[in-house]
Amino acid sequence: MGCFEVLDTDSRSAARQGLLTTAHGRVETPVFMPVGSSGAVKGVTPQQLRRTGATIVLANTYHLLLRPGVATIERLGGLHRFMSWDGPSLTDSGGYQIFSLSPLTKIDDEGVEFASHIDGTRIRLNAEEATQIQNRLGADIIMCFDECTPYPCDEHRLRKAVERTIRWARRCKRAHHNTSQLLFGIVQGGIDSQLRGCCASEIVRLGFDGYAIGGLSVGEGHKNMIETVEHTAALLPENAPRYLMGVGTPADIIAAVGAGVDMFDCVLPTRNGRNAFAFTEAGPLRLRNSSHINDGGPIDPACDCYCCKNFSRAAIRHYFNTSEMLGPILVSLHNLRFYQRLMAKIRQALAGGRFSDWAKQQLRQYSGYR
């Protein structure tokens, strides 16, 4: 009774189309998950988010643990109700944010002690607690607690992190007691193919509902990332979903789909949207630029989003120029829709048996985003 069904595979790459089944509905893959770190995708309502085509959202355990706290969300009926999203959802384990946001992090085999980036409160978290917290938050997919390494990272530290990630994965699986939630294992190992291989085989041996590739998009660059993804994805079971965490640009996603990845998440659409940076088929557009002052055209004539159907570049530039909230809102909406349209085009290319040619052409087109 797997949660994942492969519907179609590409003959000239490892890409596949699939269907992921969760307690809150089904998700067509390859899929992009917008990030709602604190229980809200920044700048948009769940209703608007749904209209961009999003089918599944991600929330960050680290952020929710700090504020408003797990007890509050549990008391209010769980994450879905709290954030008013009745579709599929995923929480990460908190590992990545602990290592990227928190100062004064102490790691040992038992777990991690870190300081809240909000008020410095010292918090301990281990595999069991990270799992129980996610059980209580109630997302449809939860992640094993892992140790993320920076880039570059010396081999000793990388190896220690892989060993801990494996041991912690075993403990997470044992601690996971909510059968309505899928638990995904995470493969670490930096860009070291031997460590990735070792980690993948141990995580697969433990057995999870899905498998994530973590620890990438931390500065290693597109080429290193994709080589690592190609190597690692090939070691994961074909009948389980594969999730590349925190990735990425359009080119990253297209290349990773070609390597057999099914799921993605990234803050780029909303973070860039708030900074007046729009994704378009013709390349990046910076809406603050004075070249748009009198431009009556939409951000992207090929786009069907609410922003492109209703607002000129000139109006959007004006909203950023006058600090109107509508500027960040509109470009976030556009970028979220851009990502969903990208994923739909990927799925269509797969369904039509022409993914590899399409991807090659697209990778050239999107090289401006790397």
d(CA 237, CA 289): 47
Least distance to a copy of itself from the beta carbon of 311, Å?
6
Which residue's CB is nearer to a copy of itself, number 75 or number 174?
Answer: 75
Least distance to a copy of itself from the beta carbon of 217, Å?
24
Applying CB under 8 A, among 5, 224, 306, 369 the residue interacting with a copy of itself is 306
CA distance readout (Å), 46 to 52, 56, 84, 248, 269: 10, 11, 7, 22, 15
Q: Which long-range contacts (CB under 8 A, 24 or more apart) does 304-313 make?
A: 304/337, 304/341, 305/52, 305/333, 305/334, 305/337, 305/338, 306/48, 306/51, 306/330, 306/333, 306/337, 307/331, 307/333, 307/334, 307/337, 308/334, 313/285, 313/287
Question: In this chain, which stretch among 191-199, 230-238, 312-320, 340-348 interacts with a copy of itself, using CB under 8 A?
Answer: 312-320
| Residue labelled with tokens 């892992």 | 146
The type of residue at 77 is G
Number of residues that bind a copy of itself (CB under 8 A): 41
Applying CB under 8 A, among 121, 180, 310, 361 the residue interacting with a copy of itself is 310
Q: Is 40 in the site for a copy of itself (CB under 8 A)?
A: yes
Question: In this chain, which stretch among 38-46, 88-96, 147-155, 214-222 interacts with a copy of itself, using CB under 8 A?
Answer: 38-46
CA distance readout (Å), 191 to 3, 4, 133, 204: 29, 27, 30, 19
The type of residue at 115 is A
Provide the mask over 50-89, with x wherever binding to a copy of itself is found by CB under 8 A and - wherever it is not.
-------------x---xx---x--xxx---xxxx-----
Residues tagged active-site? 92, 265
d(CA 269, CA 279): 8
Q: Is 322 in the site for a copy of itself (CB under 8 A)?
A: yes
Peptide bond into 152 cis (omega under 30): yes
d(CA 322, CA 207): 53
- Identify residues 227-246 at the interface with a copy of itself (CB under 8 A): none
Q: Is 298 in the site for a copy of itself (CB under 8 A)?
A: no
Applying CB under 8 A, among 13, 17, 33, 42 the residue interacting with a copy of itself is 42
Which residue's CB is nearer to a copy of itself, number 42 or number 341?
Answer: 42
Applying CB under 8 A, among 173, 318, 345, 360 the residue interacting with a copy of itself is 318
- Residues near 223 by beta carbon (within 8 Å), at least 6 away in sequence: none
Q: Is 314 in the site for a copy of itself (CB under 8 A)?
A: yes
Per CB under 8 A, residues contacting a copy of itself are 38-40, 42-48, 63, 67-68, 72, 75-77, 81-84, 293-294, 296, 306, 310-312, 314-315, 317-319, 321-322, 324-326, 328-330
